[in-house]
Chains A and B, each alone.
With several copies, the nearest count.
Chain A
Amino acid sequence: MGWLGPAELEALRLSLRVSIWATLVSLPLGIFVAYALARWRFPGRQLLNGLVHLPLILPPVVTGYLLLLTFGIQGPLGRFLAEFGIVVAFRWTGAALAAGIMAFPLMVRAIRLSIEAVDPKLEQAGATLGASRMFVFATVTLPLILPGIIAGAILAFAKAMGEFGATITFVSNIPGQTQTLPSAVYSFLQVPGGEPAALRLVIISVIVAMTALLLSEYVGRRVARRVAGT
């Protein structure tokens, strides 16, 4: 990677860290929300659904601004978290939060669709054998939706790798802290002669995201075949 300067390497490392954390931390919640939306009928279901989709609909800058207002140093949630020693403002954790939130709708949708494709009759069969809802979920539903979870997670990862607008608006563009690859690309594009450097970074991030996507296709297909037992 002699091709990349230390600052750029730093940005790549940070982007990977941010995206991986964003994906892993939001995954359990994503599965839970997807399941709730797919299988439960409860008041406020549509509200939850709308909320989940919000980051997809809003211009990223607006999402970033709203994050700044709520999770910023003076924001209500920001202050609340700070009491537990968790600071996200202007930290890489904040970048992960922004990326995670921006990727969340994609993750939830992918998982939800795969849950809806599971035949409830199989879950019923599990229940007749004595398995509680939780156990049926863990042993029947979860394995069957594994391909969907993988797809959703990788999609979220790819989206997180590319996230820019909300991140820079929320946690700024601080090298080593919050300067992810896309932010670095932005910085280069703002100055004369910065295009080659920007292009280099774009190629890097495309390679990373593509690798993840193709890998997920491959893994997803293998898992799907294992799951279908063919």
Chain B
Amino acid sequence: MSLSVRLQQQLPGIALDLEFEAPPGVTVLFGRSGAGKTTVINAVAGLLRPQAGRVAVDDWVLFDTDQGSWLPTHRRRLGYIFQEGRLFPHLSVRQNLAYGRWFAPRGAQRESQDRVVEMLGIGHLLNRRPAMLSGGEKQRVAIGRALLAAPRLILADEPLAALDEARKAEILPYFERLRDEVSVPILYVTHSAAEVARLATSVVALQDGKVLRHGPASDVLADPSVAPAGVRAVGAVLQVQVAQHHADGLTELRAGDARLFLPRIPHQVGEHLRIRIPAQEVILSNKPPEGLSALNILSGTVEAVRAGEGPGAIVSVKTPAGVVLARVTRRSVEALGLELGQPCHAVIKTVALAPQDVGGRVAT
């Protein structure tokens, strides 16, 4: 299922005028504060009636101002995680979670409540009222409530912003699983480069109500001109398989013909994964390096050199493991003579590949 969005709406600050197609998976909306992200999501949800536009999931039209069609919010089968929680204050956490279940069609594929509760770590809160929860606890319940409504379209507005790193790390895989297993389109707003890099199937960069750039995550993130995400988010994604867990706490991965080491991950031997290698964590060398603490060294040839406006450049290196991106200074590019076709070695620290950057299961 894919979501197509076209909108025009005049707001006091900005004029929204945009069109994009969100393929199955997670489409991340990003852009600076006030760029119009929440407005777009609200229009998709039907909470705001845009002056002109059309939103459809495949050929199920949610609204089309040309045809004058308009599906009310409650028929859109949404799971909307609001920027500010919006829990029902008079219902217990348990009742909040159960609210959406009333409306899910009988046969709808639906998460088990127990599982969602456990993942969100809200089991001990079930009998409390929202007023007795902390900010992060509220947001976790809000996530659970949306997921349990058996939605056909998930809208998430900075769902993890209020959560601590550890909790984020626990919940992110869940969104990944939703992305990979369920074919529900997910429109996801975040300011976190790590979340963008980790979750996004495609990325829509907004600026002042317009689409600045739109495309597969890897393309948009590798583009230094898309400032908001920050160049630090640029990275390559490699398809890997878990090869072995070592006794000293490292996990060995097979990536094409190469091997990579990283701190122990919980996945089983033989599982297929994707890992993101941040361009920033990669050092290039024109000689085979020796005596380095970095365990991962991939040999390959320079495939492309893209220099940005600043002092840095992104070098693509074709290795047996796949294409690896490295962010280095232009000075180094010259010093090392990194030109097209030039052989070179990519050095990747083991610890730089933290579990956070390991994507969930990949359908094989």
Q: Which residues of A contact B (CB under 8 A)?
A: 121-122, 124-133, 135-136, 139-140, 143-144, 226-230
Contacts and interface: CB of A to CB of B under 8 A. Distances in A.
A228 B131 contact: yes
B88 interface: yes
B102 interface: yes
A127 to B, nearest CB: 4
Contact of A129 (B92, B103, B129): B103
Interface of B: 45-47, 72-80, 82, 84, 86-92, 99-100, 102-104, 128-132, 145-146, 149, 155
B89 A130 contact: no
Contact of B86 (A122, A136, A227): A122
Contacts of B104: 130
B99 A126 contact: yes
B79 to A, nearest CB: 8
Instruction: Kindly name the residue among B76, B89, B90, B132 whose own CB sees the greatest number of chain A CB atoms within 10 A.
Output: B90
Contacts of B100: 129-130
B88 A128 contact: no
Given A127-B72, A229-B130, A144 B78 contact: no
Given A124-B86, A129-B100, A227-B90, 14 more contacts: A124-B47, A124-B73, A127-B74, A128-B73, A128-B79, A129-B78, A129-B79, A129-B80, A131-B103, A136-B74, A144-B89, A229-B90, A229-B129, A230-B132
B145 A129 contact: yes
Contact of A227 (B47, B82, B89, B128): B89
Nearest to B130: A229
A60 B323 CA distance: 88
Contact of A229 (B77, B131, B149): B131
Given A128-B45, A230-B132, A139 B99 contact: yes
A125 B82 contact: yes
A143 B82 contact: no
A130 B129 contact: no
A228 B131 CA distance: 7
Contacts, number: 87
Given A139-B99, A230-B129, A230-B131, A128 B89 contact: no
B143 to A, nearest CB: 13
B13 to A, nearest CB: 14
A130 B72 CA distance: 10
17 contacts: A121-B84, A122-B86, A126-B99, A127-B47, A128-B47, A128-B74, A129-B79, A129-B80, A129-B100, A129-B103, A130-B100, A130-B149, A131-B103, A143-B90, A228-B90, A228-B129, A229-B131
Q: What are the 8 tightest A-B residue pairs by CB atom distance, in nearest-first order?
A: A229-B129, A130-B103, A127-B73, A129-B100, A128-B80, A125-B86, A229-B131, A227-B90
B88 to A, nearest CB: 6
Contacts of A131: 74, 99, 102-103
A129 B149 contact: yes
Contacts of B99: 126, 129, 131, 139
B74 A130 contact: yes
A127 B76 CA distance: 9
A125 B89 CA distance: 12
B180 to A, nearest CB: 24
A228 B89 contact: yes
Nearest to B131: A229
A229 B90 CA distance: 6
Contacts of A139: 99
A52 B104 CA distance: 40
B88 A122 contact: yes
B216 to A, nearest CB: 28
Nearest to A119: B86
Given A144-B90, A228-B89, A228-B131, A130 B82 contact: no
Contacts of B78: 128-130
A124 B100 CA distance: 13
B75 to A, nearest CB: 8
Contacts of B102: 130-131, 135
Contacts of B129: 228-230
Contacts of B88: 122, 125-126, 140
Contacts of A122: 86, 88-89
Contacts of B74: 126-133, 135-136
B185 to A, nearest CB: 15
